[in-house]
Amino acid sequence: MEHRILIHTPTGKDGRLIATVLARNGMQGVECTTPSQLLDEMGRGVGALILAEEVLAREFTQRLSQYVEQQDTWSDLPVIVLTRRDPNAEHLRSYPQLGNVTLLERPVNSVTLSSAAQAALRARRRQYDMRDIDRRKDEFLAMLAHELRNPLAPISAAADILRLAAADPARVRQTSEIVSRQVKHMTALIDDLLDVSRVSRGLVELAMADVDARGLLTHAVEQVRPLIERRRHRLTVTSWPEPALVRADAKRLIQIVANLLNNAAKYTPEGGSITLALSADDSQVALTVEDNGIGIPARLMPHVFELFSQAERSPDRSQGGLGIGLALVRSLVKLHGGSAEVESAGEGQGSRFTVRLPRLVSRAHSEQAAASALTLPPGQHRKLLVVDDNVDAAQTLSMFLEAAGHDVTVEYSASAALRVAHERDFDACLLDIGLPDLEGTELVKRLRVLPRLADATFIAVTGYGQEQDRKRTREAGFQHHFVKPVDLARLMQVLAAGTTPAT
């Protein structure tokens, strides 16, 4: 941003006096003795104008108006006009054509003048900030479109292959694996976007517990291990010999560390080194991820953790991602009462990210210190009702459940579900929320009053995953809320733990 304030008054004495007042208050004033000089200086950059009304002759005012009209859409140059005391004030009518005008009636004391100039520069700085945010947002949306298109190509091709590959089990299996990988990739992108939305609006609810950070390192590393192994990085993990207790949401703390590791892996060339270290002192626990990768230019250092910041530090997009992982890191760390820092000596010099969290003192080691790995429990025969107006979604879910040994009935409308529920017993009902004839939240209320379903488990299956959506399904009578695409391992756990087989 250009911070110069250009000054144009009828006499050099007035201009020099104004420049002196500005200088005393830490601002740079540049005196312009002629309209042409002022216009030339404006072309070199300007933060604000201070003009005496005597210099605003018709021709000069028109030229200034043209400049205002030709500004970029984000720009609204502040103009301070020093006016004479005039009861008629007819001349004031021409000033709005200069745009963002502040009128100061003379005589003006130095405090009023410097205050108006500071306000003008603050407003100008906000304009530049909004310009930069808008630019980064455009870059982010372009990346988003790119990242969402990437998985669609193999998924579309897989659909064509499945239509052509008649009865070739090996090809069907390979194609299914491709689709599964790409769907997981798209789901991860969408989850990141939703996380950013929830955090920015203050809707994240943390499941806080006393956590030993040592127990979470392995879980974070496992999430990123495929990328690290694919790029042949040397990963060194250094833990702490004593309990490093923090008050935290274990799942979110794993996410923080995994995001930092993922960031390091993306920007470290193949064969490079990455270090994850845990340390502690009496007051805080520090998690540090250091790499010998491409480093961070000085111009990007202040913006590394900002949302919509262009996180890509090289033109290589092969690793994908939206560049919002670090914004999530900072936001989640703040919610935990901690801080996130970055260091880099510059391009080609690697980088170091450090997360610091308040350490708990003299607290017993909690059983919740580490997040347990998900394991698919042994399947037990269940009678299930799946209701979804999306035929493909209903059929694929039922096919999986049947393959796991369950007895599944599929209906595609609320009315059909109500009819079958009057005739059969079910252990669990998996209901879509957005049914066309009756919302899932209303359907569950009608099903729950049926004696046949008195002991059934009701599971919402929906594309909506915000906290208010979960609250709505809980209030309607659902015991569980699953966001599409369904986490099938977790669903199997719920079915095994929360239902008694119907007789």
Is 365 inside any structural domain?
no
In which residue ranges of the chain is pLDDT below 70? 1, 86-96, 139-148, 150, 164-167, 196-197, 200-203, 307-323, 361-380, 498-503
Same domain, 408 and 346: no
pLDDT given for residue 499 in this prediction: 54
CATH number at residue 349: 3.30.565.10
Q: Which of 110, 129, 148 is the last residue of a domain?
A: 129
Residue 60 φ/ψ, nearest 5 degrees: -65, -40
CA distances from 403 to 422, 459, 492 (A): 26, 19, 12
Whole domain around residue 95: which residue ranges?
A: 5-129
Residue 244 is given by DSSP the state: -
For the domain that residue 144 is a member of, what is the CATH number?
A: 1.10.287.130
**What count of Cα atoms within 13 Å lies in the side-chain half-sphere of residue 14?**
19
107 shares its domain with 149: no
Would residue 108 count as lying in a domain? yes
Look-up: residue for tokens 């991602």? 321
What's the one-letter identity of residue 229?
E
Assign 3-class secondary structure to 425-483.
CCCEEEEECCCCCCCHHHHHHHHHCCHHHCCCEEEEEECCCCHHHHHHHHHHCCCEEEE
Amino acid, single-letter form, for residue 311: A
Question: Helix 110-164 and helix 169-200: axis angle, to 10°?
Answer: 160
Structure tokens at 110: 């130095």
Residues 432 and 408 reside in one and the same domain? yes
φ, ψ dihedrals at 322, nearest 5°: -100, -5
- Cα radius of gyration (the chain): 31
Q: Which tokens is 353 given?
A: 């990210």
Report pLDDT for 385. 97
Tell me 174's DSSP state: H
On whether both 467 and 427 belong to a single domain, the answer is yes
pLDDT at position 72 is 84
Closest CA to 196 of 287, 323, 320: 323
pTM above the 0.75 mark? Answer: no
Task: Please check whether residues 112 and 143 belong to one and the same domain.
Answer: no
Burial 427-441 (b: 16+ CB within 10 A, else e): bbbbbbbebeeebbb
Beta partners for 49? Answer: 6, 79
Residue with tokens 């901690």: 338
Q: Are both 351 and 266 inside the same structural domain?
A: yes
Report the CATH number at residue 24. Answer: 3.40.50.2300
Segment 47-60, tens digit of pLDDT: 999 999 888 877 88
pLDDT value of residue 364: 39
Instruction: Provide the number of structural domains found in the chain.
Output: 4
Q: Is the dihedral of CA 201, 341, 319, 133 positive or negative?
A: positive
User: In the block, which residue shows the tokens 């005496």?
Assistant: 52
324 & 238 share domain: yes
Is the residue at 115 inside a domain? yes
Q: What are the pLDDT digits (tens) for 76-99?
A: 899 999 988 765 555 555 666 777
Round the average pLDDT of the chain to a whole number and report it.
83
Q: Which residue has the tokens 């299956």?
A: 461
Is residue 408 within 8 A of residue 402, CB to CB? The reply is: yes
What distance in Å separates the CA atoms of residue 481 and residue 463, rounded to the nearest whole number?
10
